[in-house]
Structure formats: structure tokens, C-alpha cells
């Protein structure tokens, strides 16, 4: 109580100083003050940091075939360009699970114009950095280059995506690589638990299948299947060309027209996996008596990207985050003094705990991954007490979580982060959401609003539970 009293007195003083500063600011034409831009500890309720009151310019153009071209220019020596496709493991079938990820591998192995070695050499010679990833709903290829090499970089990416050879030798080589990669994922307990949570929660939908696919389907994927997936999903309206950094929007539009202007606008094949998945309350246990630690995922249905409750769930996730290595500092964004963090911290058998919010186009997941010797102690707080947790939440804890989001928004300055964020917003929300809007939405949320949102989703929500570990742990979980 004494600490809160001090905070209130300090806040009152800060507010008085803020009014004086605001009056002086009216005659100041500079964009930012010379004072600290982020006084996260004492932001007034509903106020956002000054640095988040401004955002980079943004432009969007749609080509005649539906390809969208979006840029977020800012001064820098390095430009980042990329292509995001609305296609992932969700768009597969049980007969070809893993094909979206398989394509990602093959796109680096040579095209009709370039061999694999030529492709790698050309990128290295211009100092480029090319990366790609495949998720359940999207695939992204991005490259960082000097600003004078933007046109060349986009031509290389388009060549990879639209003219790869998919020769038999490369297919067989990558098949073995992917099988080894799948084994590595199975050995990563966190990744394995998250895949099992998806499997049990979306057991009646392709969303429940692993991104890398099953061994049986990986062994059967062939060139015809690969090309059909391209013809089906790599069409104009599902492609977004992205640029961030020292890039002219008009220039990128011209480059996109040259390289993606002939992509088909429609396809003769139906899109797989478009039906919305149903979240299924269920559980899956994997027994391993040789492992000393148990691993668990407890998840509930959550909002999609487009749902109005997407924004409060971003804040709820930060509130429940736990970082055991965080410094003992009441203003540290992760906040060891968060009530739930103290809760988990007092459980000696919990070695690791992580709160996750995983939104998709028309569904989402929210919950915890944890590992420890006796994992049963995590189930009761995450299931039985989920409805009452926010009743014990303080204003300071909510403000700390807001500060964490403000910090994350201010940290999105790298071109790679920008185009990933921009691409997802355009695909899922059909628009760019400025940092200012995100920060303002978060700033407006109070305990009452969060509590109502929390109870709306969790008061009668089903639980998807995934467990891996020794038999004794599984038996105790059944008892709970």
C-alpha cells in the first residue's frame, strides 16, 4: 500500500508537469522533445508515449491481377523487400501434408535461369541476406540488400517462386533434409507440445496437422503435386509484395508489375482448408518414462486476427508472461511482481512457463506451455482459477504490460520486422494498422474491460491439453 501511495503522489506530480509541458509544446514545431520519449513508469491512463504518436508513411497499390504492393519507406542504407503468400499448411490435404514447407526448401535449389550455386553466389555477391519461413497460413520470402539492388532482389525472389525447376534430384535431397528436420522438431519439447495442442484442438481440421507434415506424406510428395499447389495458391489476390527502408513506392510498383504482373488472378482448383476450424476441448498424452521432466500445454479458444478482442488478448498475454531471468525491478516490462508470475514462481517444480497467444484468420489459441518435475501443479491455476485471476490484478501490473507492448512497438524499426508485420496485417486485416492506433487501443483498456473480455472467453471455454512425460505424471493429471 505504501508503494502504491508513493506511485499515486508521483503520478499527480507528473501530471501537473505534463500540463505545463503541453502548454509549452504548442509553440514547439519540432516533432519530438529532447526529453525522454518513453517515461513508461508514469504514463497517465489512456496516454501513449510521444514516440508512438508518429509512424512511418505507408502506401498501397493493387495491380490488375490482384497482387498488392505495400511500402513503408524510411531513411536507411539497407532496404528490405519480400513477398508474403496467403498459403501454408492449412491449405494442404491429408495426402500432401508438409507440401507448403517442402516448396520453401525447393525454391532455394535452382530455377530455369539459375542453378542453386548461381542463385547462392548472386545473392552473396551483392551482400544480400535471404530468408524464408512457412507457417500454417502464410509463407514469406524476404531479402535485405543495399538500396541500389532492390530491383535485382525482387527479380531473384520472383524467379524462385515462379520458375523453380523442382527437379527429381533436388526433391529427393530435400526429402531427406525435411525428414531430419522433423526429427529435430520432435526433439524440441516446446515445439512438439504446441504441435500436439494443435492436433487435439483442431482434430477435425487440417489445421491440426504439423507444418512439416507426416513422414508418410513427405515420402510421397512429387513434382506434379508441388506444381499444382503453386498453380492453386500462388495467385494474385493471395500475394503481397512488400518493401521497407529506402524504397520508392512507385519504383516497387513498377518492379512488381514486371515480375508478378503475369501471375494468374484466379485458379481452376478449389482452395483447400478454407472452412473454419472448430476448437475441440480434448487432450492428448504421450508417455515417456525415460524423461525426468514432464511437458504440458494448456490452451483455450481465443480471438482471431479479425476479432475485436484480438487487441485485449495482446495485453492479456503480456500480463501473464513470465521471465525467470527478469531483474528485480518494479518498472521492468515483464514484471516479476505480476501476481501470476509470483504464483508460478512459488511452484518449485515448475522449471519453465510461457504464456502464448496464437491468432489465426478465423480462430485462435491462448494458454500456457510449461515444463517441470510435477507438472500437475500448473493445471489447477490455469484451469480452475482462470476465471478469478483478473480480480487480483492491480493497476500497476496492467500498466507494466502496456509498457511492454509500447516497447515492442518502438522496437519495430528493422525492415524485416516491418514487412512481416505489414504483410500479416494486410492478409488478415486487409489494412495496415499504425503503431499509433495499436498503442491507443491498448492505452484505453482498463481492468474492468480486461476482466469482461477474459470472462467472456474463459467462463465456459473448453480446454485443449497436451502432455508429454513419465507415467506417474500422467496418472496424477488424470486424478486432477
Block means of pLDDT (10 residues each) for the chain, length 480 residues? 41 44 40 35 70 88 98 92 97 95 96 95 94 97 96 97 96 97 92 96 96 95 96 96 96 97 90 90 88 88 96 92 49 48 63 89 93 69 60 81 92 86 96 93 92 86 88 63
Statement to judge: residues 175 and 124 lie in one domain: yes
Q: What's the domain count of the chain?
A: 2
Domain edge (last residue) among 195, 225, 260: 260
Statement to judge: residues 326 and 382 lie in one domain: yes
Give Dmax (Cα) for the chain.
Answer: 72
Statement to judge: residues 119 and 184 lie in one domain: yes
Which strands, in side-by-side order, build the sheet including 78-85?
A: 59-62, 68-73, 239-245, 78-85, 139-146, 129-134
91: domain range?
Answer: 59-260
Catalytic residue among 72, 92, 104, 301: 104
**What's 112's domain CATH number?**
3.30.830.10
Residue 386 counted as domain residue: yes
The whole-number pLDDT of residue 475 equals 62
Residue 426 counted as domain residue: yes
Residue with cell 514516440: 51
First to last CA, the chain: 36
Burial of 47 (0-12, 13-18, 19+ CB in 10 A): middle
Residue 37 counted as domain residue: no
Statement to judge: residues 345 and 426 lie in one domain: yes
Statement to judge: residues 226 and 337 lie in one domain: no
The whole-number pLDDT of residue 376 equals 66
Statement to judge: residues 343 and 469 lie in one domain: yes
CA nearest to 86, candidates 427, 466, 362, 438: 427
Residue 373 counted as domain residue: yes
Statement to judge: residues 194 and 160 lie in one domain: yes
Other beta carbons less than 10 A from residue 371's beta carbon: 22
Contacts of residue 311, defined as CB under 8 A and 6 or more positions apart, other chains included, come to 438, 441, 442, 445
CA 352 to chain centre: 21
Domain edge (last residue) among 228, 260, 292: 260
Question: What span, in angstroms and rounded, lies between the C-alpha atoms of 15 and 20?
Answer: 9
Q: Tell me the Cα Rg of the chain.
A: 24
Residue 140 counted as domain residue: yes
The whole-number pLDDT of residue 320 equals 83
CA 34 to chain centre: 34
Indicate if 104 belongs to the active site: yes
Statement to judge: residues 253 and 297 lie in one domain: no
Domain edge (last residue) among 226, 260, 294: 260
Rounded to two decimals, the pTM is: 0.85
Question: What span, in angstroms and rounded, lies between the C-alpha atoms of 130 and 145?
Answer: 9
Statement to judge: residues 336 and 240 lie in one domain: no
Amino acid at each position: 500500500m505504501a508503494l502504491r501511495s508513493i506511485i499515486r503522489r508521483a503520478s499527480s506530480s507528473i501530471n501537473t508537469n505534463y500540463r505545463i509541458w503541453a502548454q509549452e509544446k504548442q509553440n514547439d514545431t519540432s516533432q519530438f522533445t529532447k526529453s525522454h520519449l518513453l517515461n513508461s513508469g508514469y504514463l497517465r491512463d489512456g496516454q501513449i508515449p510521444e514516440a508512438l504518436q508518429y509512424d512511418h508513411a505507408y502506401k498501397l497499390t493493387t495491380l490488375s491481377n490482384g497482387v498488392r504492393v505495400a511500402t513503408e519507406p524510411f531513411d536507411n542504407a539497407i532496404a528490405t523487400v519480400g513477398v508474403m503468400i496467403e498459403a501454408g499448411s492449412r491449405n494442404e490435404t491429408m495426402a500432401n501434408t508438409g507440401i507448403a514447407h517442402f516448396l520453401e526448401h525447393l525454391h532455394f535449389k535452382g530455377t530455369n535461369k539459375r542453378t542453386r550455386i548461381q542463385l547462392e553466389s548472386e545473392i552473396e555477391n551483392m551482400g544480400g541476406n535471404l530468408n524464408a519461413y512457412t507457417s500454417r497460413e502464410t509463407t514469406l520470402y524476404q531479402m535485405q540488400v543495399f538500396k541500389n539492388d532492390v530491383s535485382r532482389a525482387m527479380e531473384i525472389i520472383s524467379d524462385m517462386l515462379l520458375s523453380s525447376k523442382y527437379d527429381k534430384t533436388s526433391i529427393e535431397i530435400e526429402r531427406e533434409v525435411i525428414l531430419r528436420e522433423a526429427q529435430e522438431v520432435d526433439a524440441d519439447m516446446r515445439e512438439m507440445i504446441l504441435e500436439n495442442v494443435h492436433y487435439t484442438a483442431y482434430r477435425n481440421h487440417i489445421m491440426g496437422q504439423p507444418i512439416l507434415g507426416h513422414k508418410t506424406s513427405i515420402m510421397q510428395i512429387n513434382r506434379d503435386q508441388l506444381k499444382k499447389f503453386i498453380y492453386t495458391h500462388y495467385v494474385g489476390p493471395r500475394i503481397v509484395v512488400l518493401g521497407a527502408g529506402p524504397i520508392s513506392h512507385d519504383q516497387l510498383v513498377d518492379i512488381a508489375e514486371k515480375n508478378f504482373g503475369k501471375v494468374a488472378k484466379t485458379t481452376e482448383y478449389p482452395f483447400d482448408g478454407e472452412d473454419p476450424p472448430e476448437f475441440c476441448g480434448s487432450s492428448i498424452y504421450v508417455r515417456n518414462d525415460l524423461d525426468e521432466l514432464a511437458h504440458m500445454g494448456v490452451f483455450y479458444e481465443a480471438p482471431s486476427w479479425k476479432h475485436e478482442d484480438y487487441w485485449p488478448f495482446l495485453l492479456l498475454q503480456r500480463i501473464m508472461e513470465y521471465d525467470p531471468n527478469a531483474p528485480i525491478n518494479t518498472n521492468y516490462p515483464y514484471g516479476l511482481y505480476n501476481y501470476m508470475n509470483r504464483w508460478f514462481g512459488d511452484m518449485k517444480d515448475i522449471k519453465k512457463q510461457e504464456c502464448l497467444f496464437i491468432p489465426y484468420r478465423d480462430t485462435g489459441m491462448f494458454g500456457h506451455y510449461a515444463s517441470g518435475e510435477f507438472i500437475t501443479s500448473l493445471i489447477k491455476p490455469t484451469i480452475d482459477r482462470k476465471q478469478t485471476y483478473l480480480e487480483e490484478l492491480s493497476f500497476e501490473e496492467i500498466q507494466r504490460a502496456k509498457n511492454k507492448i509500447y516497447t515492442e512497438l518502438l522496437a519495430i524499426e528493422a525492415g524485416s520486422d516491418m514487412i512481416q508485420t505489414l504483410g500479416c496485417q494486410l492478409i488478415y486485416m486487409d489494412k495496415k494498422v499504425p503503431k499509433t492506433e495499436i498503442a491507443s487501443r491498448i492505452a484505453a483498456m482498463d481492468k474492468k474491460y480486461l476482466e469482461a473480455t477474459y470472462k467472456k472467453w474463459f467462463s465456459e471455454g473448453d480446454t485443449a491439453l497436451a502432455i508429454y512425460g513419465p507415467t506417474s505424471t500422467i496418472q496424477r493429471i488424470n486424478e486432477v
